[in-house]
Amino acid sequence: MIRFDNISKRYPGGFEALSNVSFHLHKGAMAFLTGHSGAGKSTLLKLIALIERSTRGQLFFDGRNVSKISARRIPYIRRKIGFIFQDHNLLFDRSVFDNVALPLVIAGYRHQEVGRRVRAALDKVGLLSKEKLLPITLSGGEQQRVGIARAVVNKPMLLLADEPTGNLDPELSREIMALFAQFNDVGVSVLIASHDITLIEELDYPILSLDHGRLAFAEPNSI
């Protein structure tokens, strides 16, 4: 699904966020990405979502080298990825339904299809009854679940989550992780960046650990 081949990322100014990172996340696999803050977790996810571009090395997505892909093609790659953010990144001027519908609208689905899929996604995260509400009226955990519904509504092949439980209490965090496990069970590849070591270790998934931009232990480095 994702293959990093000796990837380095140096930001303008000289700070090297990632150094010679190599790993392979197979199709249908789920893994955690940990490390202290500033270790390069976010940079790694941003490279996969093509928000940042690597300075050196090759990045493969779904068997395709995307290291040098043109800016015009990037949106079509992003549509295959569901991205979940720590601060949700919901649009507060529109309803829960419209937020979740956004990826489908972008991809050009018809109204009828949009309604069907949005309700299915909201049902999966248990928020079907709140589709007409504005996100601001929801709790933190609910907002995060709206974010997840938006990420999965387009049936992406890969879910990327950047500290999805960062602002949630342990109970809610566990629920969110269980949700990710459910998506993984139906074949979606999942990569979750989190520093919540206790929670991660409860769950039985491979862990990629970053330390000052280097992959500290990833055995086997093919997941």
Distance from the Cα of residue 2 to its chain's centroid: 13
Shortest Å, Cβ 222 to other proteins: 18
The reply to whether 109 sits near other proteins by the rule CB under 8 A is yes
The reply to whether 213 sits near other proteins by the rule CB under 8 A is no
Residue 126 carries which DSSP code?
A: T
- Out of 15, 51, 123, 126, point to the residue binding other proteins (CB under 8 A): 51
The reply to whether 108 sits near other proteins by the rule CB under 8 A is yes
- Out of 36, 55, 76, 116, point to the residue binding other proteins (CB under 8 A): 76
The reply to whether 64 sits near other proteins by the rule CB under 8 A is no
Listed in sequence order, the residues at least 6 apart from 142 whose beta carbon sits closer than 8 Å to its beta carbon are 127, 130
Query: How far is residue 135's CA from residue 133's CA, in Å, rounded to a whole number?
Result: 6
Query: How far is residue 89's CA from residue 87's CA, in Å, rounded to a whole number?
Result: 6
The reply to whether 182 sits near other proteins by the rule CB under 8 A is no
Q: Within 135-154, which residues bind other proteins (CB under 8 A)?
A: 150, 154
The reply to whether 116 sits near other proteins by the rule CB under 8 A is no
Q: Which span sits near other proteins by CB under 8 A: 75-83, 122-130, 178-186, 188-196?
A: 75-83
> Residues binding other proteins: what is the number (CB under 8 A)?
25
Strand, coil or helix: 12: coil
Listed in sequence order, the residues at least 6 apart from 144 whose beta carbon sits closer than 8 Å to its beta carbon are 84, 88, 164, 165, 167, 168, 172, 176
Residue whose C-alpha is closest to residue 35's, from 204, 184, 195: 195
- Out of 26, 36, 111, 116, point to the residue binding other proteins (CB under 8 A): 111
Residue 52 carries which DSSP code?
A: S
The reply to whether 61 sits near other proteins by the rule CB under 8 A is no
Residues at the site binding other proteins, with contacts judged by CB under 8 A:
49, 51, 72, 75-79, 81, 83, 89-91, 93, 102-103, 105-111, 150, 154
